[in-house]
Amino acid sequence: MIKNILLHFLILCPLFYGCKGKEPSTGASAPNSAPIAGYDDPHRPQFHFSPAIGWMNDPNGMVFYEGEYHLFYQFYPDSTVWGPMHWAHAVSKDMVHWEHLPIALYPDSLGYIFSGSAVVDWNNTSGFGRDGKPPLVAIYTYHNMVAEKAGRKNYQSQAIAYSNDLGRSWTKYPGNPVIPNTTNLPDIRDPKVIWHEDSRQWVMALAVRDHLQIWGSKDLKSWVHLSDFGKEHGTHKGVWECPDLFPMSVEDAAKWVLLVNINPGGPTGGSGNQYFVGQFDGKNFTLDADFAPFVKDEKAVWLDHGSDNYAGVTWSDVPKSDGRRLFLGWMSNWDYATVVPTQLWRSAITLPRTLELKKTPAGYRVYSLPVKELETLRTQTFKLTASGELFADNGATVMTDIFFPKEDFKRLSLFSEGGKVHISKGSVYQLKRIWK
């Protein structure tokens, strides 16, 4: 079979290999630190967000407010290996160019600050608002390392903090934890919260090792366990983490999508991000009948087929227009995240993506492409960058992989297996780096 393929090649500076001989760097400031040399160090991505110094993993608390996209992320400022977790903070006007801000949340006597989410409390249900303006509320997991080392199982609990100054400073709720761990079970974490209009309540998806719990609250402070999902669905080859539950629409259909990250057990080894399509009534998530056969007997439907898109969740409070969602993931893998050859800093975030639900002969599926701000990166059939992020079939097939070249790429080879490919047209672009 001969296939005609239209290709657009984007020659970024290769992933994790800094641009050389380009525009000079003006330097970047690490959270709560003096300026460092800049973003020209070897293996530094030039088109993805990465921390100036220290360790990074899961993106957290992604929320849009007053014209700013807020990105918080798991961060250890004192080393390039995992350590006591903080929430670091950056903001952007376009999800492409980022400004580092001071660390938002520090560990305290209740534990390290693990993953979670953030929302705009538009109706001030929490009572944290001030001067008639809604607060930003962060919902996160406490990890009590002292309790874990002592052999206790209930070392994770859920807590909240709020901000009244556009996320520049945060106050932890004195009544934390808002969901204490009374189950004596480990791995209860990563709360993702949304406002569910039909039931007039906040809804939380919470990962509980091999399944999810769904919780409800009227004020973000008092929570009630509503239901469970997942013990009989999807793959269970690793621990379930970083869930997300949100509505999507396509044509005249209204659906709900549930994302679940898993480690290990990904489609090509390492970590991965599976998803489910169904309905949510304010209490229970139920799989669509045509989707259920794909997620039984440890089968999964994957959002990304590579090894290096993990802990991915969607943005909160983005103005709704067409039923799509904005998505970011951690561009790394727990199998090798601690041994990658970088200096001063560790890890990066994927390109921001738009998720779109489409109806296919096999049922509803989630497609993924770079956000509109990265329109140059889109093609109808196939998109490739030297960063290892591949978007094929107009977003139906996506793959993210990282690699660490020892020298700049100068050649690109194309080949096929099991057939012939006719290249009808090709375009090459050199893109400007996002860092000044």
- The per-residue pLDDT for range 415-426, each reduced to its tens digit, is 778 887 777 777
Identify whether 303 is part of a domain: yes
114 sits in which H/E element:
strand 112-120
The fraction of the chain above a pLDDT of 70, given in percent, is 84
Identify whether 27 is part of a domain: yes
Identify whether 215 is part of a domain: yes
Helices and strands: H and E segment counts in the chain: 1, 26
Identify whether 155 is part of a domain: yes
Q: What DSSP string describes 180-242?
A: ---S--S-EEEEEEEEETTTTEEEEEEEETTEEEEEEESSSSSEEEEEEE-TTSS--SSEEEE
- pLDDT for 118 equals 98
Phi, psi of 191 (to 5 degrees): -65, 130
Identify whether 435 is part of a domain: no
Residue entry with tokens 């080392």:
149
- Residue 375, pLDDT > 60, answer no
Classify the C-alpha dihedral 354-198-316-207 as positive or negative.
negative
**For the chain, what is the mean pLDDT?**
85
- Residue 47, pLDDT > 90, answer no
What are the pLDDT digits (tens) for 151-197? 999 999 999 999 999 999 999 999 999 999 988 889 999 999 999 99
- pLDDT for 35 equals 36
Hey, what are 290's tokens? 């045509």
210 is catalytic: no
149 sits in which H/E element:
helix 145-149
Identify whether 329 is part of a domain: yes
The fraction of the chain above a pLDDT of 90, given in percent, is 61
Residue 2's pLDDT band (boundaries 50, 70, 90)?
A: very low
Region 72-100: mean pLDDT is: 95
Q: Are 348 and 311 in contact (CB under 8 A)?
A: no
Q: Are 63 and 315 in contact (CB under 8 A)?
A: yes
Whole-angstrom Cα distance, residue 395 to residue 383? 9
Identify whether 299 is part of a domain: yes
Provide the pairing of β-strand 2-11 with 382-385. Answer: parallel
Residue entry with tokens 């979670």:
116
Angle at 68 between CA 65 and CA 74, to 5 degrees: 95
Whole-angstrom Cα distance, residue 157 to residue 177? 6
What is the DSSP secondary structure assignment for residue 432, as one 8-state letter? Answer: P
Whole-angstrom Cα distance, residue 73 to residue 59? 4
- Select from 214, 115, 217 the least CA-distant residue to 158: 115
Burial class (CB in 10 A: 0-12, 13-18, 19+), 106: middle
Which of 40, 41, 58, 288 is the catalytic position? 58
Give whole-number Cα distances, 320 to 248, 300, 314, 324, in Å. 10, 29, 13, 8
What are the pLDDT digits (tens) for 319-342? 876 778 999 999 998 988 888 778
- Residue 298, pLDDT > 80, answer no
Hey, what are 319's tokens? 């103005």
- pLDDT for 292 equals 84
Work out how many domains the chain is built from and give that number: 1
Query: What is the gyration radius of the CA atoms in the chain, in angstroms?
Result: 21
Identify whether 436 is part of a domain: no
Domain that holds residue 8: 2-430
CATH of the domain at 346: 2.115.10.20
* Amino acid at residue number 2: I
